[in-house]
Structure 1
Amino acid sequence: MAGELESLEKLLEKHIPPDELREVWRLLYGKEIRPLDLPSCASQAASKAGFDLQGYGFEAAQEQTRRPRIVRVGLIQNKIQLPTTDPVTEQISALHRRIAEIVEVAAMCGVNIVCFQEAWSMPFAFCTREKLPWTEFAESAEDGMTTKFCQELAKKHNMVIVSPILERDSVHGDTIWNTAVIISNTGAVMGKSRKNHIPRVGDFNESTYYMEGNTGHRVFQTAFGRIAVNICYGRHHPLNWFMYSMNGAEIIFNPSATIGELSESLWPIEARNAAIANHCFTCSINRVGTEHFENEFTSGDGKKAHRDFGHFYGSSYVSAPDGSRSPGLSRVRDGLLVAEMDLNLCRQTSDKWNFKMTGRYEMYADELTKATQPDFKPNIVRE
């Protein structure tokens, strides 16, 4: 069943009377957002290529002293294209072709910034704990074949590209990192942001390949707004979102790879809550499909040896600072979600709720500093 259900939205539409469905959406997803009128050529191209295409708009109030700051963001989720036993370079090339096809449609839809899923140029093979051939997918963030591919796409379409890859850092002893490369709409590599939090949960014991990142909470000033990248497991850490926001992020991307049994009940909540708490937009991307590996592996959690993770459930979506969110993409198909957002909504929501103005950061900082000390004693009052 996990790999068959198209989406929660389609299930609700099938079983809830139309006159009640609008109220259900309001209760589930907050303020009503408008569907985007995407070009027919884009819809036709998506249909021909077999991927889900959806578009929604988030609006802000008109201001007297600031113009609207409109940006279109694209989220791409996809399956791997070839069996995991095929040659490494062929697997990478096949994924490049698929992504180029979907980015072409994003360009038709006027997308300014596009983000791909975590480790998009390879299978999510970290469950296997095998080194070869999986470490061969690791590339230079600055001049690897995937970064060069994305640079060409960025220049061609005047589009900022967020490309999460497995990075090989040859300057520092061939160290491997889980990294997002940010490429300007001019085609220049703006920089990179490494995964801050590494899971050690069942199959997701990724420290076999890389450790916690060392780039902190970088925010990138693009031509279309300030963006940050909170990779996958970082979404479970509220302070991780918070620090990107404190550094000025208006849009925080969360490229992920996560399966239904582990996290699907958490997925709709965490990034949406982060958007509310931090007065910013959050964009959650999850891959789709079930990836099979040649050799059995175990998880250290008592389960029998197996050859796949489980079902990556897609369901990529966008959340706004006012608590509204888009429907999710398909749970089973490749997809492109286009979101038009007015970044003025970030400050407008902040002015309304004042979470940052009323935050007691000096108190938190003082108490967190104490909590990290070896002689820390919890502040508990007893009779």
Structure 2
Amino acid sequence: MEKGRTVVVSALQFACTDDVSTNVATAERLVRAAHKQGANIILIQELFEGYYFCQAQREEFIQRAKPHKDHPTILRMQKLAKELGVVIPVSFFEEANNAHYNSTAIIDADGTDLGIYRKSHIPDGPGYEEKFYFNPGDTGFKVFQTKFAKVGVAICWDQWFPEAARAMVLQGAEILFYPTAIGSEPHDGSIDSRDHWKRVMQGHAGANLVPLVASNRIGKEMIETEHGKSEITFYGNSFIAGNFCELFSFQHRSTPYSFDQCGKTLHLKDDIRFPHSSQP
């Protein structure tokens, strides 16, 4: 990318229902709204097609996985990206080679599917029982050359590991994107990791001197489990951090509406890149 070139990024957040068509329609409506405000790259939250089903271990939820090829939501977002001329990372539950992954497809501004990243770090704890559903990703950390910038995409739990951000930046990532689903802990209401989460992510931006965009869902979701019910209130707080750890833009824990967005014009530079000079 040329020095001083700008790109407008937007992070969406909304409360999901358990109806795929409703959630995809909401995502499309918000993408269109962000585009009207000038956004070039628009990040939708993790697994936005439905409730965060990983609160419980239920076999029927595994049936929600679909192959990357001809995935209906990805195809719809490809059409939308081409129409609007925007880049859209699309989170989805993937079935591939008798395995299942928490994946993100990167859709370029001409509608081209640039490929996928599969989530590497899989959490396993009360309310976040992802190892029941997802295999560890086998793609490695990757970067994608889009129309507007070279981007790196990791997913939710990956954000707690600094190696993920550094690996992408060492491959030339100019902006990092993290679709996310993080909220309260069903087993202990006194735990609130919101501020810790944000500070860790801001640290990734500052340590690697690149902007970072995080999109998280909002709302309260309840899932039936084998022991009764599990409930998570998602933090929202989607945000954009600058390459000196500054918090450019963020949304609150909840809003008067079922959705919201934040956006920021980033001025990308390649004249300060000390991570590329690091030693093994």
User: What TM-score do you get using the length of structure 1 for normalisation?
Assistant: 0.68
Contact 1:279 1:321 in 2 (8 A): yes
Structure 1 residue 156, shift from structure 2 partner:
1.0
Describe the SS at the equivalent of 1:265: helix
Contact map agreement 1:79 1:287 (CA 8 A) in 2: yes
Matched, 1:125 2:125: no
Deviation at 1:157, TM superposition (A): 0.4
In 2: Cα distance, 1:355 partner to 1:162 partner: 25
Distance 1:327 1:152 in 2: 28
Q: 2:252 aligns with which of 326, 330, 337?
A: 330
Aligned to 1:144: 71
- What are structure 2's unaligned runs of at least 5 residues? 185-190
Matched-pair contact (CA < 8 Å) for 1:231–1:256: yes
Q: Deviations over 1:224-264 (max 9, x none)?
A: 00001110001111111111111111111111101143521
Match of 2:87 in 1: 160
Unaligned runs of 5+ in 1: 1-65, 85-90, 299-304, 362-383
1:323 is displaced (CA, Å) by 2.2
Query: For 1:273-312, what aligned pairs fall within 5 Å after superposition?
Result: 273-293=203-223, 295-298=224-227, 305-308=228-231, 310-312=232-234
Question: In structure 1, what is the Cα distance between the partners aligned to 2:64 and 2:36?
Answer: 30
* Alpha-carbon distance in structure 2 between the residues aligned to 1:187 and 1:256: 23
Query: In 2, Cα distance between the equivalents of 1:146 and 1:262?
Result: 32
Letter in 2 for 1:156: E
Distance 2:162 2:226 in 1: 32
Out of 320, 334, 346, the position equivalent to 2:242 is: 320
**Which structure has greater strand proportion?**
2
1:188 aligned partner? 112
User: Is structure 2 residue 267 aligned with structure 1 residue 342?
Assistant: yes
**What SS is found at the alignment partner of 1:311?**
strand
Which residue of structure 2 aligns with residue 37 of structure 1? none
Corresponding position of 1:272 = 202
> Does the CA-based 8 Å contact 1:228-1:244 persist in structure 2?
yes
Partner SS for 1:117: coil
Describe the superposition over 1:175-214 as per-residue Cα deviations: whole angstroms up to 9, x where unpaired. 2110001111111111000101001132212110112100
Q: After the TM superposition, which of the residue ranges 329-338 and 250-259 deviates more from structure 2? A: 329-338
Task: Output the TM-score relative to the length of structure 2.
Answer: 0.91
**Contact 2:3-2:268 within 8 A present in 1 as well:** no
Deviation for aligned residue 1:68: 1.9
- Deviation of 1:74 (Å): 1.3
How far did residue 168 of structure 1 move? 1.6
Length, aligned pairs only = 270
Deviation string for 1:285-326 (max 9, x for gaps)?
111011122x2345xxxxxx4332x21010011111122222
Could you tell me how far 1:67 is from its partner in structure 2? 4.8
CA distance in 1, matches of 2:161, 2:173: 16
Instruction: Output one character per residue of 1:4-62: Cα deviation in whole Å (capped at 9) or x when no partner.
Output: xxxxxxxxxxxxxxxxxxxxxxxxxxxxxxxxxxxxxxxxxxxxxxxxxxxxxxxxxxx
Cα distance in 2 for residues equivalent to 1:118 and 1:262? 20
- In structure 2, the CA distance between the partners of 1:279 and 1:67, relative to structure 1 (3 Å rule), is closer
RMSD across aligned positions (CA): 1.6
- One-letter amino acid of the structure 1 residue matched with residue 35 of structure 2: A
